[in-house]
């Protein structure tokens, strides 16, 4: 297993380098002078300040030299300073990162709570009304855009019946119950699409596994239905579903930008959206790189989980 993990870690190095190059190249897609994008629009800057900024950003150097200088600072944790708040970008991101991580974990729990029972039910009750209901719910989760579902839940569950708060954030360390209430709607909006994908994949995998010889043998030995499902069928059916779960985690990171802005959750997603509108390029660049790194390591975690579930993959 350690050898397998080490090999996967080595394989992620070129991926990380390529992703850093893509993020670095964002500055060259800015309209106009990149320096003005960093300093902020509408500011009266003299030529000396612009020249100093160009020198600090190594914009007068060849592009490979610029990339090496930028990557070196990133490796040292120096993400620059925010144009709008004038605070270190690293401080702004890591201050909000726990909020986004908490929301992502919440969304994953919601996703699993919805998908696993529905997927198993649809497979066990294949061809019945329960299969139709579970499949219909999964299709709705895939078809409905997350931002539209978020707005709909705000109107119905937040404004109409006032069951859940429509905005804000409460730390779980301050009030766990209120924290869960405040993030319930954004967690459902984030996890709905992933729950739909996972339900469909789990149903297909369960149908294949339930027809295997070892499942029929377990039933012939007189094992209870739940024991056969949990110990023999579900464990093996989860292996291909892990890929869908990993892709869903990556989608959670991307979807959090819009969802956090709708519900005013003070996470990295809302920070990036505000930075995009204010052209706070150091924040956009560092935040994008952070999300890219997290997606790469999520995929690494999926590979490792594959090896745990099925040792033959190692």
pLDDT tens digit sequence for 159-218: 888 888 888 888 888 888 888 888 898 888 888 888 888 888 888 877 777 776 666 666
Nearest to 148 by CA among 192, 100, 198: 192
Share of the chain above pLDDT 70, in %: 79
Same domain, 209 and 67: no
Nearest to 117 by CA among 96, 138, 147, 90: 138
Contact between 15 and 292 (Cβ < 8 Å): no
Angle in degrees, CA 292, 302, 233, rounded to 5: 150
Per-residue pLDDT at 227:
64
Q: Is 42's pLDDT higher than 60?
A: no
Sequence-ordered strand ranges (E) for the chain: none
Q: Of 75, 109, 131, which one is at a domain's C-terminal end?
A: 75
Asked, for residue 91, whether it belongs to a domain, the answer is no
Same domain, 292 and 145: yes
Domain span at residue 52 reads 2-75
Asked, for residue 82, whether it belongs to a domain, the answer is no
Q: Is 80's pLDDT higher than 80?
A: no
Asked, for residue 80, whether it belongs to a domain, the answer is no
Dump pLDDT digits (tens) for 85-94.
778 888 888 8
Asked, for residue 203, whether it belongs to a domain, the answer is yes
Same domain, 15 and 146: no
CA separation for the pair 40, 18 (Å, rounded): 28
Per-residue pLDDT at 43:
56
Contact between 185 and 156 (Cβ < 8 Å): no
Dump pLDDT digits (tens) for 122-146.
888 887 888 888 888 888 888 888 8
CA separation for the pair 32, 163 (Å, rounded): 48
Number of domains in the chain: 2
Same domain, 8 and 112: no
Count Cβ atoms below 10 Å from residue 251 Cβ, excluding itself: 18
Same domain, 108 and 26: no
Average the pLDDT over each of 229-243, 251-265, 281-295 and give the range with the smallest value: 229-243
CA separation for the pair 299, 60 (Å, rounded): 37
Provide the 3-class DSSP secondary structure of residue 104: helix
Same domain, 122 and 47: no
Task: List beta partners, residue 81.
Answer: 88
Same domain, 287 and 166: yes
Same domain, 57 and 104: no
Angle in degrees, CA 272, 263, 137, rounded to 5: 110
Same domain, 155 and 252: yes
CA separation for the pair 272, 255 (Å, rounded): 12
Share of the chain above pLDDT 90, in %: 0
Per-residue pLDDT at 31:
60
Count Cβ atoms below 10 Å from residue 238 Cβ, excluding itself: 21
Same domain, 68 and 203: no
Average the pLDDT over each of 66-75, 240-249, 283-292 and give the range with the smallest value: 240-249
- State which of 72-86, 213-227, 265-279 shows the largest mean pLDDT: 265-279
Asked, for residue 105, whether it belongs to a domain, the answer is yes
Q: Is the pTM of this model over 0.75?
A: yes
Same domain, 40 and 114: no
Distances, alpha carbon 257 to alpha carbons 124, 217, 250, in Å: 37, 49, 12
Asked, for residue 81, whether it belongs to a domain, the answer is no
pLDDT band at 224 (very low <50, low <70, confident <90, very high): low
Angle in degrees, CA 172, 177, 181, rounded to 5: 95
Per-residue pLDDT, averaged over 34-47, amounts to 60
Q: Give 107 or 36, the one with higher predicted confidence.
A: 107
- Looking at every residue in the chain, the average pLDDT score rounds to 78
H/E stretch holding 25? none
Q: Is 33's pLDDT higher than 70?
A: no
Per-residue pLDDT at 305:
72
Q: Give the CATH number for residue 135.
A: 1.10.3720.10
Dump pLDDT digits (tens) for 268-311.
888 888 887 777 777 888 888 888 888 788 777 777 776 666 66
Same domain, 130 and 219: yes
Asked, for residue 132, whether it belongs to a domain, the answer is yes
Q: Is 95's pLDDT higher than 80?
A: yes
Asked, for residue 35, whether it belongs to a domain, the answer is yes
Provide the 3-class DSSP secondary structure of residue 81: strand
Per-residue pLDDT at 222:
62
């Amino acid at each position: 297993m350690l050898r397998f993990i080490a090999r996967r870690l080595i394989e992620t190095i070129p991926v990380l380098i390529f992703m850093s190059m893509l993020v670095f190249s964002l500055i060259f897609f800015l309209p106009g002078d990149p320096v003005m994008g960093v300093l902020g629009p509408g500011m009266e800057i003299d030529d000396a300040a612009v020249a100093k900024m160009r020198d600090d950003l190594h914009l007068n150097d060849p592009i490979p030299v610029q990339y090496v200088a930028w990557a070196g600072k990133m490796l040292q944790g120096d993400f620059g300073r925010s144009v709008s708040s004038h605070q270190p970008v690293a401080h702004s991101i890591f201050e909000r990162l726990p909020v986004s991580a908490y929301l992502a974990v919440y969304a994953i729990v919601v996703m699993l709570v919805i998908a696993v029972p529905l997927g198993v039910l649809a497979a066990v009750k294949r061809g019945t009304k329960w299969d139709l209901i579970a499949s219909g719910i999964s299709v709705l989760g895939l078809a409905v855009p997350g931002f539209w579902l978020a707005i709909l839940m705000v109107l119905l569950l937040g404004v109409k019946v006032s069951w859940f708060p429509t905005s804000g954030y409460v730390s779980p360390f301050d009030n766990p119950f209120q924290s869960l209430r405040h993030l319930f709607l954004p967690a459902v909006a984030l996890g709905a699409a992933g729950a739909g994908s996972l339900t469909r994949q789990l149903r297909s995998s369960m149908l294949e596994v339930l027809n295997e010889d070892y499942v029929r043998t377990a039933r012939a030995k007189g094992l209870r239905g739940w024991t056969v499902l949990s110990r023999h069928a579900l464990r093996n059916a989860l292996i291909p579903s892990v890929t869908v779960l990993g892709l869903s985690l990556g989608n959670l990171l991307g979807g959090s930008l819009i969802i956090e802005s709708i519900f005013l959750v003070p996470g990295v997603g809302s920070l990036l959206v505000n930075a995009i509108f204010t052209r706070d390029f150091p924040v956009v660049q560092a935040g994008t790189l952070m999300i890219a790194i997290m997606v790469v390591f999520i995929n690494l975690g999926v590979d490792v989980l594959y090896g745990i579930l099925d040792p033959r993959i190692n």
